[in-house]
Amino acid sequence: MAGGAGFVSRAHQTGDSPTSMNKTRPLEWLLACCMIVWGVSLLRPGPYFDLPAYRVMATIAHETTWGMFAVCAGLLRCLGLAVNGWWRRTPVIRFAGSFFGGLCWLSIGFLMYAGSVVEDSRLPAGMGFYVVFFAFEGWCTLATGYDMNKNGSLSTGAVARNVR
């Protein structure tokens, strides 16, 4: 047919075409890099945890510990995304990264909120970012779960399909 009207690609017929649901890799890279930047910010000279919003976090661990943890988590996620994107399609790695990333952002946001409540102080100006990051990590977790289902990652004997 002229102009491609009525044309259905083989990839679309077999279900191998990427959908909007599983096009989250750039977002996953962004969130991993945000985690690294957050951690590096805590590793810079000068105290952060003397601010009221961080005081509850300071009772759990020193800011250097939080910073190293965030940098390592972000780097591990970047490594997983690189393996997934360049060598082998393993949506399980992406799922674990987005799920763990979501837990990290949720924990940071909750502890900063708790610190503000305990210290009876204002929430930090960037507090909303943690909620947004958590929401987008949730979207990435759902998308990678979809990819795992489509790829047959958790099924025994399933024929794996290429998830782009």
Please say if the pLDDT value at position 156 is more than 90. no
Report how far residue 1's alpha carbon sits from residue 73's, in angstroms, rounded to the nearest whole number.
Answer: 51
Report how far residue 138's alpha carbon sits from residue 134's, in angstroms, rounded to the nearest whole number.
Answer: 6
Average pLDDT of every residue of the chain: 83
Note whether residue 64 is domain-resident.
Answer: yes
Please say if the pLDDT value at position 159 is more than 60. no
Tokens of 143: 């998308």
Condensed to tens digits (0 to 9), the pLDDT of residues 87-106 reads 767 788 889 999 999 999 99
Range of the domain at 105: 22-148
Please say if the pLDDT value at position 31 is more than 50. yes
HSE-CB for 2 with a 13 A CA cutoff: 0
Largest CA-CA distance found in the chain, in angstroms, rounded: 69
Note whether residue 35 is domain-resident.
Answer: yes
Are the beta carbons of 78 and 29 closer than 8 angstroms?
A: yes
Note whether residue 116 is domain-resident.
Answer: yes
Report how far residue 26's alpha carbon sits from residue 78's, in angstroms, rounded to the nearest whole number.
Answer: 11
- Burial level of 9, CB count in 10 A (0-12/13-18/19+)? exposed
Note whether residue 16 is domain-resident.
Answer: no
Are the beta carbons of 21 and 74 closer than 8 angstroms?
A: no
Note whether residue 44 is domain-resident.
Answer: yes
Note whether residue 14 is domain-resident.
Answer: no
Tokens of 105: 């952002």
Condensed to tens digits (0 to 9), the pLDDT of residues 112-147 reads 999 999 999 998 888 999 999 999 999 999 988 888
Are the beta carbons of 22 and 150 closer than 8 angstroms?
A: yes
Report how far residue 6's alpha carbon sits from residue 161's, in angstroms, rounded to the nearest whole number.
Answer: 25
Mean pLDDT of 52-63: 92
Count of the separate structural domains present in the chain: 1
Note whether residue 1 is domain-resident.
Answer: no
Note whether residue 136 is domain-resident.
Answer: yes
